[in-house]
Structure 1
Amino acid sequence: MVDLPGPRAASARPEEGRSAVSRRGVLRASLASAAVLLGGGALAGCGSAAAAGDPRTVRLWDLFSGADGALLNELVDIARPDMPGTRIERTVLEWGTPFYTKLAMASAGGRGPDVAVSHMSRLAGYAPLGLLDPWDTDLLAEFGVREEDFAGAVWSRTRYRDRTYAVPLDTHPFIVFFHPDIARKAGLLSGDGDLDQEAFSSPERFLEAGRELARASGKQGIAFGYVNDSAQGWRLFYGLYRQTGNDFALPEGGPAEADLDAMAEVIAFMQKLVDGRTNPRRLDYHSAIPAFNNRQTGMILSGEWELGTFRGADPKVGAAPFPTVFGTPAVYADSHSFVLPRRPDPDAARRRRTHQAIAAVLKAGQVWARAGHIPAFRPVTRTRAYERLEPQARYAIAADHVVLDPAVWFAGAGSDFQNSMSQALQRSLLDGLSPDRAARDMIRRINTALSQPSPA
């Protein structure tokens, strides 16, 4: 019978008898994990997961605690029949810089776990440095997992130099939640309960919808928590900017190429969205949530990962993909993905067992969907069981239009880059910096990052 131990803390010291990480490896790993833009955090101690030991054990490092951690345990338990004779041993590390630092340094020394969870947006800071090994796609196919089982928008980010370096577990997009009774009173729902996307299909219509929600609620319309937040401003901006049909060209060394007029147009819309007339003005992440839960607003712009929080306050809470405001469908998102930390001489049998275990976990993704995440393995989202999930099935289409952070080494989840972009945006949304000046400030900050040599 497969044994699933509870999560344990990672050791703060390298395993005795293993070779130490080289000075070059430490430098490259620290550069990758800090994602320095305006200065990175201090390095955490490097943990270790022994490659030796019980050959039936697949050692996994992840960043899921709380409800998500319990759900991952359940997912692995349900996956047992598809990985006979294998046990997955989890090590849970602290989210953010501590996790990515530890993963980078363990990989640099060839002492990482068999498999680890990473945000897809961080791949560009790891694969080019040789910190990861590629997945064997033929072996994954043998266990029933193929490229065509994933949305192209997600799978395209798994590749580096024609090799697959990440296998996505989910897509977690930035979406909209709403109270159905308020939205219906505001005339913003279709007959089957879906959000009327046409009512949000331009900046003017989106703002008018906010006014209708405010009238229907008797309070305010749309909540967005961005004040002093390290990512929310960027998430909203980048999804909207990509909806204009533009992207950033970020050549190594710079300068960045972008459409400043389109950037300013998006920022001007964001200013109006939080001008305090219809929608709340000065909300941080943690005050936006109770503003919505207490029905002070009819809608909130947030990540699907908050589904459990919102459903706890309103069991009938509605959700929808982020509306297409600027013409081109695009939804800001990231993806929890499985990666293979570098091993100088990987054991073929252990690697085969790891591929089998991850394939089994993906096929059990219906469990993971309960957290709100969209399972990346699309056969799961095509089942009747998934179609009955409310409101998850109503925003699953967002996976077809997701956009992740630019594929550069300093960007991605938990990076100083996101924080710096959000700071620049806050100067405009909260302090009144003009949209064109805010756009130029963002480009200046991006050029600062590009001017720093890539550690690859």
Structure 2
Amino acid sequence: MKKLKQLSAVTVGSLLILAACQEPEQQGGAGEDSDSEGNNGGEEVEEDMPGDVGDADIVLDFWNGFTGPDGDDIARIISDFNEEYEGEIAIRTQTMPWDNFYDQYRTVVANNEAPDIAIMHLDSIAGYAQNDTLTPLDELAADIGLEEDDFIEEVWQAGEYEGSRYAIPLDVHPLALYYNIDLLEEAGYSEPPETYDELVEMSLAVQDSSDAYGIAMPVYWPSNMIFFSSLVSHGGETVSDDGMTALYNSPEGEEALQKMVDLVYEHEVSPSDVQADGEVTLFRQGNSAFHINGIWMITGFEEQDGLNFGSAPMPQFGDEEGVWAGSHNFVLPKQQEEDPERQEAAMEFIRYVSENSIDWARAGQVPAAYSVLEREEFQELEHQYNISQQTFVFPPTSPYYGDTWGPTGPAVDEAMLGQLSPEEALDRAAREGEANAEDAAAAHN
């Protein structure tokens, strides 16, 4: 089994069996919204086919939510594919904001108008597989030579639901720590913190040596992804295997959330009541030394004039390694009448992108394929490589994970605002989440 040093994922108890990613998780549900990758909201965008594809025997429609700069990166990969397969296979893309994507997806599958290929967040796959809107890929993947040993093991396994494969991973996008190199040097440090205590120590030192905050903790998204990471680091669990029972309202969960709250009210290294994206603005302006967010922030920070920043694994808030991670995955939408020739062409495109995903890594992702991870080109991508050196934990594979976990978003926010204690906030979230899951299960049955 091929493994990169430190590049792995863990299973926490029997619960974190890894799956998921409706792109970073939204406050009201399980998933990443368009802002998670710097994408813009707005109307659906129809894009021309990249490259010369007019005489292709097979033209495939590819849906995705890459409406930001990452859309340019995937377009370049598609253009290269269309050029290499000129006259044989061509890819036509249709892009829309993630918050519109899933409603549109359900509609077109129901109307037998589904695209040939789509990108889906990992924590959405189980629900769409349960509702029979995805095509099983076991035989198709085997026919084209895609197998477990080619990918980070846990993200590959996370694409399975009830014994069948429904997804092929494109990437992994975890949380990370960003730090202001100049502020740390001014405070007497040359390396970023690796633990919670070091984060507090360095934050206090920065505040003693400058007018900047140590860290600005978000009140809104991605606060519940930070809570997920702190929970895992404290040995806690998110939800049960079937997704119906909340497990985060536990002593471990309370301690994990209290650590976040303490950065504001006890250690006083973070401002309180940070407005939406306020923590991003403070870091961009050099007014905070540390910032916790996803790998998707790399490009935006690189483009910020005057920002001298570094990247590193998120500090351990507890005694165990583990950080929230999501993943974009290729899926084949369910077709009323399957066309083996089109399916084979679709899988050839997926294989091509997987093998050439170094360009996607440059856009701010960790490639899922070992063939790309082990390349010198990836290791030369300083930020992406640094962020890849941590233990990834994916949400559990369950159609009801998002229902049960979703209320942690506003619960974490209320605790961060000092409106509820961690125990009160998490208990309320658990009641709401389990009720949501029961309603969803009843609706499905």
**Do these two structures clear the TM 0.5 threshold for a shared fold by scoring above it?**
yes
Measure the CA separation in 1 of the matches of 2:27 and 2:279: 28
Measure the CA separation in 2 of the matches of 1:152 and 1:176: 24
Query: Which residue number corresponds to residue 354 of structure 2?
Result: 362
SS of structure 1 residue aligned to 2:316:
coil
Query: Which residue number corresponds to residue 169 of structure 1?
Result: 170
Query: Which residue number corresponds to residue 135 of structure 2?
Result: 133
Q: CA deviation at 1:58?
A: 1.6
SS of structure 1 residue aligned to 2:398:
coil
Does residue 408 in structure 1 map to residue 411 in structure 2?
no
- Write the letter of the residue equivalent to 1:402: F
The normalised TM-score by structure 2 is: 0.81
Q: CA deviation at 1:104?
A: 1.9
Query: Which residue number corresponds to residue 302 of structure 1?
Result: 293
Assess, with a 3 A threshold, how the Cα gap between structure 1 residues 66 and 256 changes in structure 2: closer, same or farther: closer
Query: Which residue number corresponds to residue 116 of structure 2?
Result: 114
Q: CA deviation at 1:167?
A: 0.9
Query: Which residue number corresponds to residue 25 of structure 1?
Result: none
1:93 to 93, 96, 109: 96
Question: Is contact 1:213-1:222 (8 Å) kept?
Answer: no
- Write the letter of the residue equivalent to 1:206: L
Query: 1:278-309, CA deviations, whole angstroms, 9 ceiling, x for partnerless residues?
Result: 22222234222221011001111111111111
Does residue 446 in structure 1 map to residue 441 in structure 2?
no
- Write the letter of the residue equivalent to 1:180: I
1:429 to 389, 410, 416: 416
Structure 1 segments of 4+ aligned residues over 6 angstroms from their partners: 34-37, 45-48
Measure the CA separation in 2 of the matches of 1:131 and 1:244: 37
Query: Which residue number corresponds to residue 49 of structure 2?
Result: none
Question: Is contact 2:254-2:422 (8 Å) kept?
Answer: yes
Query: 1:88-128, CA deviations, whole angstroms, 9 ceiling, x for partnerless residues?
Result: 100112221x2111112322343210010111111121111
1:219 to 197, 212, 215: 212
Q: CA deviation at 1:66?
A: 2.8
Question: How many residues are treated as equivalent by the alignment?
Answer: 394
Query: 1:142-175, CA deviations, whole angstroms, 9 ceiling, x for partnerless residues?
Result: 5453211221221221001222111111111111
SS of structure 2 residue aligned to 1:77:
helix
Assess, with a 3 A threshold, how the Cα gap between structure 1 residues 371 and 417 changes in structure 2: closer, same or farther: farther
SS of structure 1 residue aligned to 2:292:
strand
Q: CA deviation at 1:54?
A: 6.7
Query: Map of 1:246-395 to 2, 5 A cutoff?
Result: 246-250=236-240, 254-258=244-248, 260-275=250-265, 277-313=268-304, 314=306, 316-395=308-387
- Give ranges in structure 1 of 5+ residues lacking alignment: 1-33, 38-44
Measure the CA separation in 1 of the matches of 2:368 and 2:269: 37
Measure the CA separation in 1 of the matches of 2:228 and 2:147: 30
Measure the CA separation in 2 of the matches of 1:214 and 1:273: 13
SS of structure 2 residue aligned to 1:126:
helix
Measure the CA separation in 2 of the matches of 1:175 and 1:383: 22
Measure the CA separation in 2 of the matches of 1:259 and 1:428: 13
* CA RMSD in angstroms, aligned pairs only: 2.9
Structure 1 stretch displaced more, 289-298 or 323-332: 323-332
Question: Is contact 1:207-1:273 (8 Å) kept?
Answer: yes
Measure the CA separation in 1 of the matches of 2:138 and 2:125: 17
Q: CA deviation at 1:141?
A: 5.0
Query: Which residue number corresponds to residue 31 of structure 1?
Result: none
Structure 1 stretch displaced more, 80-89 or 383-392: 80-89
Question: Is contact 1:35-1:410 (8 Å) kept?
Answer: no
SS of structure 1 residue aligned to 2:215:
strand
SS of structure 1 residue aligned to 2:427:
helix
Measure the CA separation in 2 of the matches of 1:35 and 1:160: 25
1:210 to 203, 216, 219: 203
- Write the letter of the residue equivalent to 1:354: A
Query: Which residue number corresponds to residue 9 of structure 1?
Result: none
The normalised TM-score by structure 1 is: 0.79
Measure the CA separation in 2 of the matches of 1:337 and 1:173: 15
Measure the CA separation in 2 of the matches of 1:46 and 1:181: 41
- Give ranges in structure 2 of 5+ residues lacking alignment: 1-25, 30-42, 47-54
Measure the CA separation in 2 of the matches of 1:359 and 1:206: 41
Q: CA deviation at 1:205?
A: 3.4
Query: Which residue number corresponds to residue 234 of structure 1?
Result: 224
